[in-house]
Structure 1
Amino acid sequence: MGVPAARIVFDENDRAAVADAVAEMLTTGALTLGPWTERFEQAFAAEHGASHAVAVSSGTAALEMILRTVDVRGRDVVVPAVTFYATAGAVVHAGGRPVFADVDPATLALSPETLAAALTPETAAVVLVHIGGLVTPEVDALRALCDQHGVPLVEDAAHAHGSSHDGRAAGTFGLAGAFSFYPTKVTTSGEGGMVLTESPELRDEARIYRDQGKGSFSTNHHVRLGYSWRMSELHAAVGAVHLRRLKEFIEARRAVARRYDSALAGLDGMEPVLEPPGSRGNYYKYVALLAPGVDRAAFKRAVAEEYGVRLSGEVYDLPLHLQPVLAPYRRGPLPVAEDVCARQVCLPVHSDMTEDETEQVIEAVSAVHRRLAG
């Protein structure tokens, strides 16, 4: 049996709960901005120890509306080069200019040094990304640096549902956090996103932006240039049901990660991105760097063809400053980002992964890496 790159887990009870919710909303006709959206928002905020949550159509929308509320138009926004396109795309769509910063190779996140190097007199905001669901232990130092320069820290927590540092949840270190519920995330609503914040003003702005910029749901008075960024009730119900299993899923994923940590510790040349002290990751991704000179394509092909193990894509194979569509914002090389993006792979981690599957991955990765690293 092969090990897939990702597996989406809804058991019989989950499916029954979603079916009941769908029957309820189809009976009542409440299909958008109804009771399930409110339930999901309240549950997600409570899970992360936050005061306010606003459910929206995607993690990208969540990030863009935060940046629109901050008003980054015509100004710079620092983003790490190692992240998904949407982190910078949201900046551009909000009217800002992304300024790419290098990352710490130990966490794949901004460090105080790389952030300081990227700050400009025109910086309007800084976006910190929690790659793979790991929160950098320097998050407080990054927040302090932002405060010192009078700019808000925004968290792209698309990977980080339930992750924390020193007991504080991802998405609560800055002005606001943006989460994604894309199907492969640790918990999903199918499609969707969430804004998390302590600011009632930002909460209110997010509610306005998600509903075409209307001042209230029942009027046609448009006070912002909003979008159709609503989360449907169907998606909210799926998300609310799946969220109930977040702690269980994280424990399962952490158990897999611990076995990977032990196995890879004895593998010469491969460098796992380890959980930093004080941080507690959800292991949305388990990232490891191949030894320099190992052909990644050949490595992935060998583990798939010889052992039936599919690796779950790189996070990420091309840093943002080298993405063709973002070329106008390129300012120069970022050596750490370029190195880690060239060498990283993600080992499969599923919320219901079996011991046999974990051992199959370890056997495949160990054998192929030893052969190719020679």
Structure 2
Amino acid sequence: MATNDRIYLSPPHMGGSELGFVHQAFESNFIAPLGPQLAEFEAGCSRLTGHAHCVAVSSGTAAIHLGLRLLGVGPGDVVVASTLTFIGSISPATFLGADLHFVDCDAATWTMDPALLADAVAAIRAQGRRVAAVVPTDLYGQCADYDALLAVCDPLDVPLFVDAAESVGATYKGRHAGCRGVASAYSFNGNKIITTGGGGLLSSDDKAFITEARRLSQQARDPAPHYEHTTIGYNYRMSNVAAAIGLGQLAMLETFVARRRGIFDWYREALSHLPGVSFMPEAAYGQGNRWLTVMLLDEAAFGAAPEDVRLALEAENIESRPVWKPMHLQPVFRDVPCTGGQVSEDLFLRGLCLPSGTALTEADLTRVARVISGMAGRERKR
């Protein structure tokens, strides 16, 4: 039966066991902030990421903030970051008083271009400034080329801190996303491939790094019977109830990745024959989680612009979204230098993120594809 129910871009999808873990949290009365479900969730995340230690926090942005602070980022420093990303990857550097320098992606992976990174770092150092960290974004569930980026960073003793917010469940050379950074940040926001309602994770093999991150995430309380503070911390800790949801979601991750990849393959098979349509490539060094399926449109060949397609989808109660607007084009960062920029600008102009939720049915996908197909050649038909 035909339906016009709203099709969302990437809504939460419960696997079935989440409520049982939440009931356990309620029955134990460990509601917030800490409890056994949180400890179990962190242990599961360590097994997943391959990092020996991790701390679950309130958001991916909080994880990046904590990580940059513990890397010693401060006023006068420069943090080099991907320009094609979400602002939560960037804003924590400004919280700490550091300056930013953006780097474009390469067309083959849509992630930070190692050659342009080398140019950016050389230019910054030539000014006598310190590069305190490099923060590449794993875009739409595809890992950056960590080894190529480390070839630039390691000789200069610059830490690589991976923004893996979008890449939970993805792999790089057989290991989990974020594996090669000195630390990595992940997101469990409501629109991510797995969710805790809202939440994030900071992981590392450095025990002292994570121990201090955990302390800072809990208002930096020192060990004492009273409340003793020798530094300023944050209210960033994930609640036990949120972690309980995460336990159920972790159990579904492999299934969800397979489904997202299947949705990508469905769209590609259904739409690639249309003129001017292509899709985000997959890097040879890993397997993306295909968090979002991203379609590119050549307006001249297709006969309609991505914004025309987005509006047509919205008219049918279907949510879609442009590709991230590059950070160097954002008004708030208008004075921030960027090395390169043309690739990300082109992707922003031509890209459209399609509904990718794991609960989508074939009928839902067919609704989306029908609208897009109907837009092909629209200008020529007029």
Select which of 3, 7, 10 maps to 1:6.
10
1:309 aligns with 2:318: yes
Distance 1:144 1:328 in 2: 29
Instruction: State the 1:372 CA deviation.
Output: 4.9
Task: Give the counterpart letter for 1:262 in structure 2.
Answer: E
Q: Which residue does 1:258 correspond to in 2?
A: 265
Task: Give the counterpart letter for 2:205 in structure 1.
Answer: E
Q: Which residue does 1:47 correspond to in 2?
A: 48
Q: Which residue does 1:75 correspond to in 2?
A: 77
SS in 2 for 1:275: coil
Instruction: State the 1:333 CA deviation.
Output: 6.8
Instruction: State the 1:359 CA deviation.
Output: 2.6
SS in 2 for 1:53: strand
Select which of 110, 115, 119 maps to 1:113.
115
Q: Deviations over 1:333-357 (max 9, x none)?
A: 7222222112211011111222222
The change in CA–CA distance for 1:16 and 1:201 in structure 2 (over 3 A counts) is closer
The change in CA–CA distance for 1:209 and 1:109 in structure 2 (over 3 A counts) is same
Q: Say which is worse superposed, 214-223 or 139-148, in terms of deviation.
A: 214-223
SS in 1 for 2:376: helix
Tell me if the contact between 2:31 and 2:241 (Cα under 8 Å) persists in the aligned partners: no
Which structure 1 residue ranges, 5 or more long, are not aligned? Answer: none
Tell me if the contact between 1:269 and 1:373 (Cα under 8 Å) persists in the aligned partners: no
Q: Which residue does 2:310 correspond to in 1?
A: 300
Q: Which residue does 1:128 correspond to in 2?
A: 136
Q: Which residue does 1:89 correspond to in 2?
A: 91
Tell me if the contact between 2:280 and 2:296 (Cα under 8 Å) persists in the aligned partners: yes
1:17 aligns with 2:20: yes
Tell me if the contact between 2:18 and 2:249 (Cα under 8 Å) persists in the aligned partners: no
Instruction: State the 1:308 CA deviation.
Output: 4.5
Distance 1:372 1:196 in 2: 50
Instruction: State the 1:18 CA deviation.
Output: 4.0
Task: Give the counterpart letter for 1:99 in structure 2.
Answer: H
The change in CA–CA distance for 1:352 and 1:63 in structure 2 (over 3 A counts) is same
The change in CA–CA distance for 1:261 and 1:217 in structure 2 (over 3 A counts) is farther
SS in 2 for 1:196: strand
Instruction: State the 1:162 CA deviation.
Output: 0.9
Tell me if the contact between 1:78 and 1:100 (Cα under 8 Å) persists in the aligned partners: yes
Distance 1:280 1:24 in 2: 39
SS in 1 for 2:203: strand
Tell me if the contact between 1:172 and 1:196 (Cα under 8 Å) persists in the aligned partners: no
Give me the TM-score of the superposition, normalised by structure 2.
0.90
Instruction: State the 1:175 CA deviation.
Output: 0.5
Tell me if the contact between 1:25 and 1:31 (Cα under 8 Å) persists in the aligned partners: no
Distance 1:173 1:48 in 2: 10
Instruction: State the 1:330 CA deviation.
Output: 4.1
Tell me if the contact between 1:41 and 1:54 (Cα under 8 Å) persists in the aligned partners: yes
SS in 1 for 2:100: strand
Distance 1:314 1:157 in 2: 20
Q: Which residue does 1:177 correspond to in 2?
A: 184
Task: Give the counterpart letter for 1:37 in structure 2.
Answer: L
Distance 1:282 1:56 in 2: 22
SS in 1 for 2:244: helix
Distance 1:244 1:298 in 2: 39
Instruction: State the 1:266 CA deviation.
Output: 2.0
SS in 1 for 2:195: coil
Q: Which residue does 2:57 correspond to in 1?
A: 56
Tell me if the contact between 2:146 and 2:181 (Cα under 8 Å) persists in the aligned partners: no
Task: Give the counterpart letter for 2:35 in structure 1.
Answer: G
Q: Deviations over 1:268-312 (max 9, x none)?
A: 21221122223211111111222146433221111332x55321x
Tell me if the contact between 1:187 and 1:239 (Cα under 8 Å) persists in the aligned partners: yes
Distance 2:262 2:154 in 1: 37
Select which of 186, 208, 215 maps to 1:208.
215
Instruction: State the 1:160 CA deviation.
Output: 0.7
Instruction: State the 1:176 CA deviation.
Output: 0.7
SS in 2 for 1:189: coil
Distance 2:225 2:277 in 1: 57
Q: Which residue does 2:277 correspond to in 1?
A: 270
What RMSD, in angstroms, separates the aligned Cα atoms of the two structures? Answer: 2.1
SS in 1 for 2:89: helix
Tell me if the contact between 2:116 and 2:340 (Cα under 8 Å) persists in the aligned partners: no
The change in CA–CA distance for 1:116 and 1:218 in structure 2 (over 3 A counts) is farther
The change in CA–CA distance for 1:190 and 1:289 in structure 2 (over 3 A counts) is same
Task: Give the counterpart letter for 2:309 in structure 1.
Answer: F
Q: Which residue does 1:101 correspond to in 2?
A: 103
Select which of 222, 232, 235 maps to 1:225.
232
Tell me if the contact between 1:253 and 1:351 (Cα under 8 Å) persists in the aligned partners: yes
Tell me if the contact between 2:279 and 2:294 (Cα under 8 Å) persists in the aligned partners: yes
Q: Which residue does 2:163 correspond to in 1?
A: 156
Distance 2:87 2:117 in 1: 19
SS in 2 for 1:187: coil
1:360 aligns with 2:367: yes
Which structure 2 residue ranges, 5 or more long, are not aligned? Answer: none
Aligned residues: 367
Q: Between the two proteins, what is the percent identity of the paired residues?
A: 32
Tell me if the contact between 2:138 and 2:167 (Cα under 8 Å) persists in the aligned partners: yes
Distance 1:333 1:49 in 2: 33
The change in CA–CA distance for 1:47 and 1:164 in structure 2 (over 3 A counts) is same
